[in-house]
Chains A and B, each alone.
Chain A
Amino acid sequence: MLMSGFGSALAPMNLTMAMLGALIGSLAGMIPGVGPTPAIAILMPLTTVLGPAQGTIMLAGIYYGAIYGGSTTAILLNIPAELQAVPVCLDGYPLAMKGRGGPALGIAAISSFVAGVLGLIGLVFFAPLLADQALKFGPAEYFSLMVLTLTVIVNLSGNSIVKGLIMGLGGYLCSMVGLGVASGHERFTFGVQPLSAGIEMVSVIIGLFAIAEVFHTFGERGVGARAPKIGSVYPGRSDLKEAAPAMLRGSIVGFLLGLLPGCSPAVSAFLSYDLEKKLSRNPGEFGQGALRGVAAPEAAGNSTCSAGFIPLFTLGIPSSPPLAILLAGLMIYGLQPGPTLFEGTGSFVWTIIASMFVGNVMLVVLHLPLVGIWVKLTEIPLRLLQPMILLLCVVGAYSVRNSMFDVLVALVFGVAGYFLKMGKWPLVPFILCFMLGPLTERSFIQSMSISNGSFSIFVENPIALTILIVAGVLFVTSLLLMRRTNLRLRNVQAAALE
């Protein structure tokens, strides 16, 4: 199946989409204020006119391209565009200041490639196994899975779990606008006729993640810093020998953590950095320009990203904000991520997986020679990009259903998203629950119908019970891991201020 996936992925159009997505993602990953989530959100309406495979290939390309791109500004400018790039700054920037920015960039790119490929190999073996088990799922199991997905909210809530839960509930609420799943009666329409068709997901995503982000960065000039001169970006043999063990360890750590629904790349990047420091014979060199300090977190973050596709494809659980948007993209194409994705549309899944292999190769070949151009592109003033992004968002929202009401929805959510971001309310729990709301409700109602209203169905069913227990354990583990990561972040910020 993988070989036929390669055959399909190497078709000219699919190859073009993979390259386009990877390059756009690289650029998006380098520009703070853009990043992979807004980039996927902005481009999603455009991909709806492509076929499901081409659109998903492009969106996935943006995701892993952004992982490559994020380390560039972290190393050269000490500006992490994404949270998982913060550990890379710790040693990457000191290396750049010592004139070793080129090898640092090279090691980061090679680490990303190695980790990406290892992660994808793991995806090839683990995903079908998990999908086979998941075929036994009934309504009770699906509902338990939705409860498990709520543990993801812990990692996506930032500093306040309560705010994350409120946002998640708000997402569920908005998903109920329209016709009820049980009886078909209108809910929450309040006499507004266009609302009877429900709220369009793309409009919500554009509003919350693109329009709100642009206004949130209103008045900012952009990167505003100049990168130091880069020499050769190809690391020497001794550099590779030094970094290789860290790359492999980071890849394994990142992959295992990425299997846990809800584990974000930032958590694995920090954990991997800490592990590398503990294992080092000379821990004092970390923070002063150790290549292993770049290799390990970069590999871990990338590996977690690849592994994150496993719970996404097999269980329909996204483990990071870009994957949550990608999940929305799959649903827009009429695909239901979860157990039936491999069963019913296996060729599609293997094409995506194969294109990710191809995309990783393309990135490591294209990224390094073009790094000078990438850095120049980050100097594009934000004030030039902002009106372009806003108009693209409006026209994009219109293009989904040729509906001005969808544009209004996008603008309203843009305003709401602006205030929510200012108040530090997490947005991803909202969109996650908005997407999963109908499935959660349907599963619950079906379970209650089967059991005549008894909750014992979730306890008597072994798979459902196991999932609920795992959800409880993951909830506590995620809380502890996030606290640890936030503490590390605060320490890093305090050290930077000194």
Chain B
Amino acid sequence: MPSDHADNVSRRMPPDRIGGIIAMAMGAVALSESWRLYPLRMGTLVGDHIMPGAVGGFLVLLGLGLVIRADATAPRLRFPRGLAALRLCSSFGILFGYWYLMDRIGYVVSTFVVAVALFGLMSGYGWIKSLLYSVVLAASLGYLFMNLLNIPLPSGIISFD
């Protein structure tokens, strides 16, 4: 069963151990960058290599400490499941879609579409409320940034410049 599998995984790999491994990986990247920059130094302790080296070293050590001391009996993380997880991931996906679309089809259309999607999927509103709130939100944000703050937003299919 999926939930039993998740339980077994978290018993083998406590969340803090995963964090420790990630910290060690980041430390390794920092150390390798320090090694790359070492020939460009102005002195043993003067150069762009020193901070990456120090930070990398400490990250590896602290990460190792976390890996070793991670509490295997700590309560597992409670991520949303089922439909809630789908809605959460979809909401993240919608935001990344917003990033992709805004420059291509402009602020107005992309914001309206994304707002409808978020009000519907994330907030659980029906079509009519989602459309209404989206129009108000897109117009308000556009007015705030473009008219009040004089910040240009991407123009595209429809624009009110």
Contacts and interface: CB of A to CB of B under 8 A. Distances in A.
A binds B: yes
Contacts of A423: 15-16, 19, 77
Contacts of A445: 45-47, 50
Interface in B100-155: 102-103, 107, 111, 114-115, 118-119, 122-125, 133, 137, 141, 144-145, 149-153
A90 interface: no
A411 interface: yes
B66 interface: yes
Contacts of A166: 19, 23, 59, 62-63, 66
Contacts of A384: 123, 133
B43 A448 contact: yes
Give chain B's interface residue range (CB within 8 Å of chain A).
35 or more
Interface stretch (A104-112, A327-335, A400-408): A400-408
A185 B103 CA distance: 31
A181 B42 CA distance: 12
Contacts of B96: 411
A394 B95 contact: yes
A386 B119 CA distance: 9
B35 interface: no
A172 B124 CA distance: 40
A176 B51 contact: yes
Interface string A405-433: 00110010011000000110100000000
A445 B144 CA distance: 44
A16 to B, nearest CB: 13
Interface in A114-161: none
30 contacts: A166-B23, A170-B59, A173-B52, A183-B42, A183-B47, A187-B37, A187-B48, A187-B52, A188-B29, A215-B91, A218-B122, A219-B80, A383-B124, A386-B118, A387-B133, A388-B137, A394-B99, A404-B102, A404-B103, A411-B92, A411-B99, A414-B92, A414-B95, A423-B15, A423-B16, A437-B51, A440-B51, A445-B46, A449-B46, A453-B46
Given A163-B19, A218-B84, A404-B99, 8 more contacts: A162-B62, A169-B59, A215-B91, A387-B122, A387-B137, A391-B98, A392-B141, A452-B43
Nearest first, the 6 closest Cβ-Cβ pairs linking A and B are A180-B48, A387-B118, A383-B123, A448-B45, A399-B151, A441-B51
